[in-house]
A and B are shown apart, each in its own frame.
Chain A
Amino acid sequence: MGRYALRRLLQMIPVFIGSTFLIFFMVYALGDPVAALFGDKAPDPATAARIRKDLYLDEPLWRQYAHYMGQIFSGHFGTAFNGQPVTELMASAFPVTLRLTLVAVAFEMALGITLGVLSGLRRGRGLDTSVLLLTLVVVSVPTFVSGTVLQYLFGVSWGWARPSVSPEAPLNELLLPGVVLGLVSLAYTTRLTRTSIVENARADYVRTAVAKGLPRHRIVTRHLLRNSLIPVVTFIGTDVGALMGGAIVTERIFNIHGVGYQLYQGILRQNSPTVVGFVTILVIVFLLANLLVDLLYAVLDPRIRYA
C-alpha cells in the first residue's frame, strides 16, 4: 500500500508539469494582456514596455514558463495585476470554495445515496419512477437556470435566504449555493447508487445474508450498500475536483468570492499568474482526490489489494 501510494505520488509530477505548461500556453496564446490594463485608452508605449518587462512578458514563452516554475518551487506564485500576490488571493479564495464544495458534496452524498438506495430497493415502483424522472429534470436544467430561479424564489420572493453571500461566506449562507452546485451531481449520484443497488441485490452474498435470517437494515447497510458504493465513491471523489473548478457559474450567481471568481477575473484580464496559479492548485486537488478514491477502494472491498 505504501509503495503504491508513493508510485502514484511520483506519477503526479509529469501530470503536474504537463498541465501547468498547457494552461500557461493557453493563457499566453490569448495574446498580450498589457494593452487591456489601460482601458479604452491607448497605452503609452514606454509605460507598457516597462510593465511588460516587469511581468516577464517580453520573454519567449519557454523562458516565462521556466521563470514561473522557478517561482512556484520557492513558494511564490507571482502577482496579480492589481498588485496583490497570488498566494494572498488563494488564501482568501480557496477556503471559501472548499466550504462551498463541502456543502455540495455533503448534500449530494446524503440525499443522493438515500434516494438511490430507496429507489433501487423499490425498483419499478412509483417512488423509483418519480425519482428517475426527477433526476432527469435536474440533469437537464443548467446550473445558471436553477441557480437564478432558486436565488429569486428563496432570496427575493420568500426572503428565506440572502440572494448573495457576504465576503466572509459563513456556512449557513452557503447552504443555498451549495445545493445549487450539488444538484447535477446529486442526480448522477442517485442514478449510480440505484443501478449499483439493483445489480447487487441479486448477488449471491445478499441471498446468503437473507437466507441466514439477518435483519433487513443490516443486510442493506453492511452487505448491499458497502459493495454498491464503490462506483459512487469513485464518482464523488473525482467530483470534488470538478465541483471546485466548476463553481464558476454558481459563484458568479451568488457573488461568492472564491476560486471561480478569481479564475473568471484572471481569464477576463488575461492574468497568467492568477489563472495558472489557481489551476495548478486545482490540478493538485484533483490528483489527490483521485488517489484518495483509489486508496478507499481497499477499505470498501478488501479483495482489492495494492502491491
Chain B
Amino acid sequence: MTACGGGGGGGADAGVVRSSWGDPPNPLEPANTNDVQGGKVLDMIFRGLKRYDPRTGEAKNALAERIESSDQRNYTITLKKGRRFANGEKVTAASFVNAWNYGARIDHKQRNAYFFEYIEGYDKVHPASGAAPTAKTLSGLRVRNDRTFTVRLTQKFSTWPKTLGYNAYVPLPRAFFTDHAAWLRKPIGNGPYQVRSYAKGSVMKLRAWDGYLGPDKARNKGVDLRVYTDSNTAYTDLQAGNLDLVDDVPAQQLKFVRSDLGNRYINQPAGIIQTLTFPMYDHVWSGPARAKVRRGISMAINRAQITERIFQGTRTPATDWTSPVLRRQGGYQPGLCGDACRYDPVRARKLIKAGGGLPGGRMTITYNADTGSHKDWVDAVCNSVNTVLRNDRACVGKPVGTFADYRNKMAGKKMTGPFRAGWQMDYPLIQNFLQPLYYTGASSNDGHFSDTGFDRLVNQANAASADGRAIAGFRDAEKILAEQMPAIPLWYQNGSAGYSRRLSEVALNQFSVPVYSQIRVG
C-alpha cells in the first residue's frame, strides 16, 4: 500500500507503463513471429496496410490509402503519402514487396511463410517438397511506382484485403536486409513506438516515437516489457506496486482478483476457441453413424458448470465454431451449434447408444500436460461424460508429456480418440475460424476432416464479391460442422488483465493483447 503513494515507486520512469511479458520463443521478425508475446511487440512498433480496430475488430486502412479489385483476385494497393520508418527511411511499395518476398522464401525459414501462399508464385519460392526454390521473388507481386503495387492471387479470395492487418504483412526497412543481425538486436519499425533497448529474455524498453503520423499516436511516454517466467510473480509485483499491467492473471488468483483489483480487472472475450477434435482418419471415429456418437458426446458435456467451477468464469460456453469477438456482422452466430452444444444427459445417452456406443466402450481425451493446466478441465469433461453414461471408466484423460510431442502425435495421425485443440485467430474474420481448420488438407486441419459440401461452400464464400454474401456463405459451411461434429466446440476463451492505480484507459483488443498506445499514465 505504501509503495503506491507517489505513483512513481519501484524504479518507474515517469509516464512509462511497466508491463509483464513472456520471452518470445522465436526471433522477432514479422514473418517469423507467431506467438502472442512477440506479436505484442510487432503491434507496437509496426503498422501494416490494415489495422483491426481494437474495439470492433473491423479491418481499417492504416498505411493503405485504398485496396482495389474488380475480380477478387487481382488487387491494386495504394499507400498513404509521407509515412516513414523510425530511422527516417520512407515506407514505399518496395518496403512491402521486399518484406513479403523475404517472408515467403523457404531459405529464410519463416514460420509464417504460409500466409503468402495465396499469392501467385508461392510454389516457386516455397516448394512444398522443401527442395531448392526455383524463383527468388513472388511472381504475383509487382511494384508499379513508389506508392503503388499489385498483387495477383492464385484463387478468388474476397476477404483477402481484410487479412492484411496480420503482423506477417508489415513493411520492412532496408536495414532489415542489409544488417539483419543488428536489426534483430534492435528492431526498427514504423509504428507508434520504437525500441530503445532490448535485453533478450529480460526486458524490452519501448519509447513513444514522435515521428509517427498515424491516428493512434502513443498517449504515454513508453512501455517497459518485463519478462516473467511465472505469472504469479508478475501478479505479486503488481500488488506490491512494482508493475503496472499484467495481461495474464494466474488461475490461482482468479478467486481474489475482484477484491484485490476491483474494476482494474478486465475479463473480456478474445478470439480464441477451444475444441475437442476427433481423428477423422481413424475409421472407428468416422462414418455417418459415428456422427451421432460425436454429437452425443458433445451433449454430455456440462460446459456451463466447467467454465464456472474450473475457469472461474474466464471462459464462456461455446455455441458455434467462431468467436464472439467477430460480432454478428462478422459471422459470429450464437446457437448455431443448436441442441448439440446444450447439456442434455438423457438425449446424449440415447444418441451415443443409437450411434453404436463409444468405440470399444470407452474413449480417451489426449492433451499435453506441460502447460496450461489442461488436466483439470479434461478430467472434468470426462467426468461429465462418465456421469451421463453412468460408467466411471467410459472416458479418461490421456496426458502427453510435452507440447512438441503432442504436436508430433497430431501431425503423425497418431491420435486414437478426441484430443484438445485450441485456435487463436490470426485475424478477426470468420474465414480464419473455418478454412484453416476444416477445409480438406488445410494447414491446421488436425482432425483431417474432409467434406466436399463444406469445401464447396468455403470456395463460394471466398469468391463472393459482397461482404455480406461471403459471411453468409461461411455460415452455411459452418452448419455442416454442426451436423457432422468433427470437432466439439467447448468454450470461448477470455483475455484477462489487471492494472495498477497509475494507469487509466486500459483495454484489450480481440487478440487479448493490451492496446498499449491508448493507455494513460498518472
Q: Which residues of A contact B (CB under 8 A)?
A: 30-47, 49-51, 54, 81-84, 88-89, 92, 148, 151-152, 155-156, 159, 162-164, 166-167, 251-255, 257, 261-262, 264-265, 268-270
Contact = CB atoms under 8 A, between A and B. Distances in A.
B110 interface: yes
Interface string B442-458: 01111000000000000
Contacts of A39: 34-35, 424
A83 B25 CA distance: 9
Interface string B18-56: 000001111100000011000000000000000000000
Given A54-B109, A252-B229, A257-B202, A42 B443 contact: yes
Interface residues of B, number: 63
Contact of B109 (A47, A151, A265, A270): A47
Contacts of A163: 233, 236-237, 239-240, 242
Interface string B405-436: 10110110000000001111000000000001
Most interface-central of A155, A265, A270 (chain B CB within 10 A): A155
A152 B236 contact: yes
Contacts of A40: 421-424, 444
B3 to A, nearest CB: 5
Contacts of A254: 233
Contact of A265 (B23, B128, B444): B23
B63 to A, nearest CB: 26
Nearest to B241: A159
Contact of A255 (B107, B126, B229, B404): B229
A269 B130 contact: no
Contact of B233 (A43, A54, A253, A269): A253
22 contacts: A31-B408, A32-B408, A36-B402, A37-B26, A40-B422, A40-B424, A43-B411, A50-B109, A54-B109, A82-B26, A92-B202, A155-B237, A156-B236, A159-B240, A162-B242, A163-B233, A164-B233, A164-B234, A252-B229, A255-B227, A255-B229, A265-B23
Most interface-central of B401, B407, B436 (chain A CB within 10 A): B407
B309 interface: no
B346 interface: no
A36 B228 CA distance: 20
Closest 3 CB pairs of A and B: A35-B407, A36-B404, A167-B202
Given A45-B128, A164-B233, 5 more contacts: A33-B404, A40-B423, A162-B10, A252-B230, A270-B402
B199 A167 contact: yes
Nearest to B11: A166
Contacts of A88: 200
Nearest to A148: B232
A46 B128 CA distance: 6
Contacts of B27: 82-83
Contact of B106 (A47, A148, A152, A257): A47
A37 B35 CA distance: 9
A215 B228 CA distance: 55
Contact of B111 (A37, A155, A167): A37
Nearest to A268: B370
B201 interface: yes
Contact of B407 (A36, A148, A253, A269): A36
B313 interface: no
B25 A37 contact: yes
B178 interface: no
A38 B240 contact: no
A111 B240 CA distance: 29
Interface string B286-300: 000000000000000
A30 B402 CA distance: 8
B113 interface: yes
Nearest to A93: B201
A46 B127 contact: yes
B184 A47 contact: no
A38 B407 contact: yes
B228 A31 contact: no
B106 A164 contact: no
Contact of B408 (A35, A54, A162, A253): A35
A164 B26 CA distance: 25
A280 B388 CA distance: 53
B129 interface: yes
Nearest to A158: B2
Contacts of B237: 155, 162-164, 255
Contacts of B446: 42
B203 interface: yes
Given A35-B404, A254-B233, A44 B200 contact: no
Nearest to B133: A46
B160 interface: no
Nearest to B443: A42
A44 B3 contact: no
Given A39-B34, A47-B113, A82-B25, A257 B201 contact: yes
Interface string B187-205: 0000000000001111100
Contacts of B370: 268
Nearest to B410: A42
Interface in B62-100: none
Contact of A49 (B24, B111, B130, B239): B130
Most interface-central of A37, A252, A254, A262 (chain B CB within 10 A): A37
B199 to A, nearest CB: 6
A159 B236 contact: no
A156 B405 contact: no
A45 B233 CA distance: 38
Contacts of A152: 236
Given A38-B111, A46-B126, A82-B26, A156 B201 contact: no
A167 B407 contact: no
